[in-house]
Amino acid sequence: MQLNLSSQRATRVVASHRHATPVVTAPRRSNRTSSVAAKAVQTPSNATAASELQSLGRLSTIVPDTLAMETLTPGAKLAAGTVSASVLRSVIVSESLGLKPYENAIMAAMAAGKNSNSPLAAAADPLDRALVNVGAMLCDVVWGRVETIVDPNLATDQAAITEKVRLLAALYAALRVPRDRLIFGLPATWAATQAAKTLEAEGIATSLYMVFSAAQGIAAMQAGASVIRINVGRLREWYDKNPGAIRNPHGPREDTGAPTAYDPAIELVKELYCYGRKYHPKSAIMAMGLRTRQDALDLAGLDYLILSGRVMSQLAAVDTDQGYNDGLSAVAGSSGVEAVLTPALAAQAEVKQWSVLTEPVWKSELGPAATELLAAALKLRANDVTELKKLLASRSSAAD
């Protein structure tokens, strides 16, 4: 059910602006059974043929990459949205008129620090104010949750992460954004994972991203994280650049550089999906960095798939016969995208339960790919924050 926030806009620094947004999910398949065998003639069916994108949307929630807003379908809503330092920077440097309301929200949040009557004045850091003000606007253009990415410079400080998220949650509350519309993105470090455990116990939803290994994903599940986000593209690229690395630790010995069909990135997603369904059903699994149409199809049935506009277009261009209408009825036996990941598959999977992880064990289980990729991702995100703060400072000086 979509939540009407129109009555809340008066409390915001900048009134919400509705962007045109894409249809991201198709209606779920009906449970009605066909009576073709019982009737010689049926009344015309209302079912229509589905593209692969629509068919996939019946199996997984499809989340378009944030800020692909200029190409969105009027009147629809995004499944989810993300606000981060890199998103804010993209808004500020963009010349798109469609993003102007978000830029205004950022600048209003900057000025709010000088206004003691502003609901955002409690935050000393202008970045916090800007994240929340834009995040509150995004709540009007998504039907799911809005993710706020917490400063990655805090990644190794459990207490600092916990307090930062509490502050951001309080700012959202001051703007009358319900807590159940929010989720806070934390890097999948050990400290952040433990912070997530505390926050989830307080009713604050968390999303652990920068997940490149089973140890990170399972630690996040043990902490009760609401979402575990795996970057398929980055992990696959690491193995492509390191041909001597063991791709399949459970398979036969591989000769260095020998070609193999085993994709460690896709397999990690499947492994964590099955593990979560068996032992931690609260935690949803999300895949990002899906480079091709086939990547998306290989993970059909996963909880969430973040897809670029290019991949969505590829899927939309391929028709299926699912629900095809022959003029009298939907064609019997018509099919679309087949589910690869299902609860039944997870129930049958031979997945051994991990003991409760400690920090030393977690570190030992990371492996070279996750260790390197996590460090690189943290550095990249920290640079985003640095660049944004410089940009905000220059804009603030110009305004003065």
Q: What is the per-residue pLDDT for 322?
A: 77
> Residue 64: its pLDDT value, please?
82
Cα 136 versus chain centre, distance? 17
Q: Lowest mean pLDDT: which of 18-27, 156-165, 213-222? A: 18-27
* Region of poorest pLDDT, from 30-34, 184-188, 208-212, 333-337: 30-34
Q: Are 132 and 148 in contact (CB under 8 A)?
A: yes
Among residues of the chain, what percentage have pLDDT more than 90?
A: 55
Helical spans, DSSP H, in the chain: 52-57, 85-93, 100-112, 126-138, 158-174, 190-201, 214-222, 232-241, 264-279, 293-298, 309-316, 343-348, 359-399
The mean-pLDDT minimum among 45-54, 138-147, 319-328 falls in 319-328
Distance CA 247, CA 290 (A): 19
Task: Give me the sign of the Cα torsion angle 207, 213, 197, 200.
Answer: positive
pLDDT at 47 over 60: no
Short-list 272, 257, 260, 269, CA closest to 295: 269
The pLDDT value given to residue 81: 83
| Residue 42 confidence class, pLDDT cut points 50, 70, 90 | very low
- Domains along the sequence of the chain with CATH: 75-245+261-325+334-397 (3.20.20.70)
Question: Integer distance in angstroms from the first to the last C-alpha of the chain?
Answer: 43
pLDDT for 37 equals 38
With H, G, I as helix, E, B as strand and everything else as coil, classify residue 149: strand
Are residues 46 and 153 in contact, defined by beta-carbon separation less than 8 angstroms? Answer: no
Q: Is the pTM of this model over 0.85?
A: no
Average pLDDT, whole number, for the chain? 82
* Predicted confidence (pLDDT) at residue 392 exceeds the cutoff of 90: no
Residue type, 13: V
